[in-house]
Each structure stands twice: as structure tokens, then as C-alpha cells.
Amino acid sequence: MIGSLRGTLAWRGADGDLLVEVGGVGYRVSVPTRTAAALGTVGSEVFLHVHTHVREDAIVLYGFAHDDERRCFEALLGAHGVGPALALSVLSALSPATLSTAVLEDDAETLCSVPGIGRKTAARLLIDLKSRLALPDLSAVGVTTGTARAEARAALAELGYGPDEIRRALEGRCEDVGVEELLRLALRDLAAR
């Protein structure tokens, strides 16, 4: 099983496929668009964390710039009804941190923003990924961030803001503030846009 590749980027396809040459051998690797954008130009040195996917008719390599992306990809593959194409689509649209936060906060709207994921799939993924992703146990330390964020998200939705606007407004906010402070900061950010 191939776990990583370090070599020269020999070719870049339009569909997220790369050819990485390692010691005279070219490995075709499928990557999320986030990883493809982070890599240099053809001819540059690259390093990829790799998931080797073995099927009856093919061996396919999936590459990631960071190991947490590879772990999220494998967690997604373990979820019911998720194949490599959908898992790549999720990681092209969402960072591992955003995905973990969405699962932690039961944020189906964030998952629905990924092409190919509807409400039913998002609800099922939230359940499946809670046991598969390495999520912190916030209740053990008395933190209610998920609840505060969920309440702030619901309030912003009631005010008419869309899921993308809400996600951007709450992204990166300090995790130890209350609902009122989260709303105040998010509304200030939304007004500035």
C-alpha cells in the first residue's frame, strides 16, 4: 500500500488528476481542488499523503497536502453511501476543520453546500461522521461552543441570512464567547460585507 509520494509534478489534469514522477515511475493521483491549488507548477517538487483505494478492477491513489485531509477522506469513505468521488467533493469544498465543526455542531447546511449532498445525505453524514472523525469531547470540559454556534446560526437564519453567509460570518470566531457576542461579531462582519 502506498502511504505517501515525494517527487516531481509531471502533469496536471483539468479534472483534479496529477501525475507525480517518483524515481522514474509516474503515479497518477486524484486530489481535491484545495490540494491541487496548493501545489506548485509542473516541474516542481511535491509531497502528498496518499490513500490507496483498491477495487476489483483498479488501484486508485488519492492524494492530500495534509494528513488530516487524508484522515477525513478515509472517515468519509467509511460513511454509508459515500464513495471516493463524493469524499473528494466534500474535501474540495470544506477544510477538515470546517467539516469537523459542522459535524460537531450538527450543521447540515454546511454539508448541503457541497455539490451532490442533499438534506437526507447531510443528516446521515452527521450521524456517521460523529463516530468516525476525531472530535473533541467539549462536554467533558464544560464548553458549550456547539450550542452557542448553533443558536447563533439559527438566529442569523431567522434574520434572513443564507448558509454561506452564516458560515463565513461564524468561521474563525473565538470559541469561548456566548451567543450574544457571537451574534454581535457575526452581524458586524455581515454588515461590513
pLDDT tens-digit map of 157-176: 777 777 778 878 887 776 66
Q: Which top CATH class is 67-132?
A: mainly alpha
| Domain extents in the chain | 4-64, 67-132, 138-192
Length of the chain: 193
Residue 141 scores a pLDDT above 60: no
Mean pLDDT, to the nearest integer, of 7-13? 95
Residue 12 scores a pLDDT above 80: yes
* Separation of alpha carbons 174 and 145, rounded Å: 9
* Separation of alpha carbons 160 and 149, rounded Å: 17
Nearest by Cα to 98 from 113, 114, 110:
110
* pLDDT, position 146: 55
Residue 151 scores a pLDDT above 90: no
Looking from the CA of 168 toward its CB, the CA atoms found within 13 Å total 12
CATH of 138-192, one of 1.10.8, 1.10.10, 1.10.760, 1.10.3860: 1.10.8
- The CATH classification number of 4-64 equals 2.40.50.140
Query: What pTM did the predictor assign?
Result: 0.72
Is the distance from CB of 77 to CB of 133 less than 8 angstroms?
Answer: no
Per-residue pLDDT tens for 98-140?
Answer: 898 888 888 899 999 999 999 999 999 998 998 888 765 444 4
Question: Where is average pLDDT lowest: 9-23, 89-103, 123-137, 145-159?
Answer: 145-159
Letter for the amino acid at 49?
Answer: H
